[in-house]
Structure 1
Amino acid sequence: MSNLFALEDGIHAPITGGATLSACRKGEIAETLFIAGAMVHDWEIFTPFGHSQAADVVLTRSGVRPLGVQVKTGTLVDSGAYVVTVKRGTTGGMNARPYQQYDFDVLAAYLPDRNQFVFWTFDDIRSRVTVRYNPAKHRAPGNWDLLNNVAESLTNSGPETADVPPPTVQMSTSL
């Protein structure tokens, strides 16, 4: 698979005639590549409708609890590391905040020049607004098995709900 960003200088893409790809367009490309990769690894895909959802993609397969995945794009910095912004914005981009527990299960960060993803569990990045990934120091990218491990772990440790009665709804008989 070729690098769809194809950034000659880290900013301008020749495929767009030298125009800068917007952050939104980069996100769309990263999400599409993630979905393709997940399908190759035998996941069923669900995409929440609209922007500003806590998870960009929901993965499922028989026997495991669905996984919420937030997809981001890493930015290569001079040190050779990647910086991934992991915060949830609000309308107008003001008051961005860290994601909260149960917003998603896995962060998938796309590394454009490597055309690979690196994965973190939510617990790995809890309450942080940026994470750094250095290929020389950290786990190898492309560890799709992490998704299987997280799904199995969450399925096995999920809440027991079989004995919980449904909520009682009382209807008024008078108007």
Structure 2
Amino acid sequence: MAEKMTNFVAECRALRTQPDWPAKVASAMKRLLAAGDLSTELRSELEPGQLAKIYVQSPDLTIYSVWSEGGLRGPPHDHATDAIIGLVEGVEQYKTYELNGERCVETGLKRVTAPAVAVLGQEAIHAMWNEPGETGLSLHVYGNAHFEAPDRRMWNPDTYVETAFDHRQQFKWTKELTAAAG
């Protein structure tokens, strides 16, 4: 792991034990983005064709970087924890939702442009929604085992009915939604 990310991961581990960790991690991420040239470091750690790099996956902390292709679309989902997302380059958009009975209902669209940091609260429901031609490189920090957290949820993008989170189904729906938008 390159130096900037090694230091950032160590700082996040220390901050995760504090009650106001999301705000403190967001501040640390803003400093990291302001220091510049993080894009080169993150890209150098991706293998050819690889879109994401996981730096930490533990029960109380996940940190990864991800490259978002233009036109990327995903199903509504939550994280079951606070999420801190830093845009290193480009744009990341997401639709926001609220619960209405057993379904979720779209409430808006949020656009995050580099270099910026977004904090999504534990109750946030959203879906990736990049426009064609708009790519992004982002750094994500979550307060749980993000890819395996048992209390995460997602919603069927056709019916908006809640279902248990399943990363294989999420990737399948993301692939279908992205292809349909292209």
What's the TM-score once normalised by structure 1's chain length? 0.29
Higher strand share: 2
What's the TM-score once normalised by structure 2's chain length? 0.28
- Higher RCO structure, 1 or 2 (CA under 8 Å, sep 6+): 2
